[in-house]
Amino acid sequence: MAKALIILADRFEELSLYLPWYRLREEGVEVTLASPLLHGLTGLHGYRVEPDCRIHEITPTDFDLLVIPDGPCTEMLRLREEALDVTRTIAMEGRVATIGHGPQVLQSAGALDGRTVTASPGIRDDIRAAGAAYRDEAVVLDGNLLTCRGPDDLPEFCGSLVRFLRQTVKV
């Protein structure tokens, strides 16, 4: 069974968490939610979710896929060394999917140089400064990295996410 990790913190964008999470579960993927702290997290619109574990408890090689949702939560995640360590390891050895501002975590982990990505247009200059090529498209696939511009593009992203995971893991 394929295993996916979603890292998040308070102020996550709900659609960018719930749609990929449920879509992966529909495919039989075991999904783990991890956060820097083990307490209920509140999204931008007030929805709450309980993480399964803390990020520092994660063994990155146990997962086939890392998903980083959109929202101001990425600012908190990129300041946490444990989140950057997990992101860096999975980016080197597995598959990563990000939505909206999610590439900021990859940027802080030093995993964007030479990549081609899409992201929220508001961070395109940050993406370029990190050495990545920015494309204003709904979804961009670059090797083991799948990126999505934002919540409006989630239908296309979720379909791509399932195909992306099937490339190396039986789903």
- The vertex-67 CA angle with 25 and 44, nearest 5°, equals 95
Contact 101, 71 (CB under 8 A): yes
Beta-strand runs (E) in 8-114: 30-35, 41-42, 48-49, 53-54, 65-68, 95-99
45 is catalytic: no
Q: Residue 1: how many CB atoms within 10 A of its CB? A: 9
Q: Which of 39, 45, 56, 101 is catalytic?
A: 101
Which residues does the annotation mark as catalytic?
101
